[in-house]
A and B are shown apart, each in its own frame.
Chain A
Amino acid sequence: MTAVAHKVKITYCAECGYEPQTLELAKALMLEFGARLSCIELIPWEGGTFDVSVDGQLIHSMTRDGGFGDAAAIKDEVRARLTA
């Protein structure tokens, strides 16, 4: 069996004060998936960004989907990628 490294990236607007939502989501993913994720990368950005991707696939975007996204729905998306 080959181990697969799954990486989550959260890109957030640092100029908009989105740190609390970013940390809350990162914590939820850490607690839910533990070492099944190889990395959770937090990327401070600008322009109202709040994007979440798994292995390069965008699973939530504030611009595209609106808001910060539902943590349960984001966890479902991540889980689906891990079991794919």
Chain B
Amino acid sequence: MTIDRARFDKGLTYEAYKDQMTRNRDRLEENEQHVELGKEDLAAFRALPRPVKVVVLAEDWCGDVIANLPVLARLAKESGKLDVRIFLRDQNDDIMQRYLNKGQFKSIPVFVFFDDGFRELGHWIERPASVTEVRAKRRKEIFAAHPEFGSPDAPVDQLAEDARVRLQAELAKMRDETAKFANAEVVRELREIATRVAA
């Protein structure tokens, strides 16, 4: 499987992707509004010597897509240097097979960066490892602070419904509180890949 101009052009623009979403569009657009881009990061993308093409694998049910695709979209919109085309994961398995997480998982989103000759500059999968690490640490802290939630390793169905609802709220709050850090980490990692494009 190779990505060439013809295949790239079959992808959806970000707006077309949003138009075909059947769920979570409100969350995606809310995240899009809340993304904060640093001046230095934005300047680095604007300074790219030529536009970079970005192939995206996504689905509208995926939380990591809802969180991270808007970051890419804002970078594209505000820099004018990223040409993004989105492919639905479950309808484009040939692309997915090439970018499996750890060689086996169909994790999304996948962002693949190409130069104008469709030479791959690098790819990015799911979320930064630093974000996974910070959220795992915060999750442990939540369980430590709330003995009523039991063990973080125990099946959640063993919790009483009211405790489960409270745990879900605590986890959602933790994700909100770490969203700014997470977005900054996404920008940092995408910048590192995009700026590999040759002058």
Which 10 residue pairs of A and B lie closest in terms of their CB atoms, listed nearest first?
A15-B63, A17-B61, A9-B157, A11-B157, A51-B155, A58-B155, A53-B157, A45-B156, A11-B156, A43-B157
* In the assembled complex, A41 has its CB within 8 A of some CB on chain B: yes
8 A Cβ contacts from B61-84 to A: 61-64
Cβ–Cβ < 8 Å partners of A14 in chain B = 61
Residue from A19, A46, A56 in contact with B158 in the complex, judged by beta carbons closer than 8 Å: A56
8 A Cβ contacts from A16-67 to B: 16-17, 19, 41, 43, 45-46, 49, 51, 53, 56, 58, 61
* In the assembled complex, B164 has its CB within 8 A of some CB on chain A: yes
Q: How large is the interface on B (under 10, 10 to 19, 20 to 34, 35 or more residues)?
A: 10 to 19
How far in angstroms is the closest Cβ of chain B from A29? 15
How far in angstroms is the closest Cβ of chain B from A26? 14
Q: Find the residue from B157, B168, B171 having the highest chain A CB count within 10 A.
A: B157
8 A Cβ contacts from B105-161 to A: 155-158
**CA–CA, A11 to B168, complex, Å?**
13
Closest to A15 in B: B63
8 A Cβ contacts from B22-79 to A: 59, 61-64
Q: How many A-B residue pairs have CB under 8 A?
A: 34
Cβ–Cβ < 8 Å partners of A15 in chain B = 61-64
Cβ–Cβ < 8 Å partners of A43 in chain B = 156-157, 164
Chain B interface residues toward A at CB < 8 A: 59, 61-64, 155-158, 164, 168, 171
Number of interface residues of A (CB under 8 A): 17
Taking a contact as CB atoms under 8 Å apart, the answer to whether B171 and A11 are in contact is no
**CA–CA, A17 to B24, complex, Å?**
12
Cβ–Cβ < 8 Å partners of B62 in chain A = 15-17
Taking a contact as CB atoms under 8 Å apart, the answer to whether B155 and A17 are in contact is no
Cβ–Cβ < 8 Å partners of A56 in chain B = 158
Taking a contact as CB atoms under 8 Å apart, the answer to whether A16 and B156 are in contact is no
Cβ–Cβ < 8 Å partners of B168 in chain A = 45
Residue from A11, A46, A49 in contact with B63 in the complex, judged by beta carbons closer than 8 Å: A46
Q: Find the residue from B59, B62, B63, B164 having the highest chain A CB count within 10 A.
A: B63
**CA–CA, A11 to B157, complex, Å?**
7
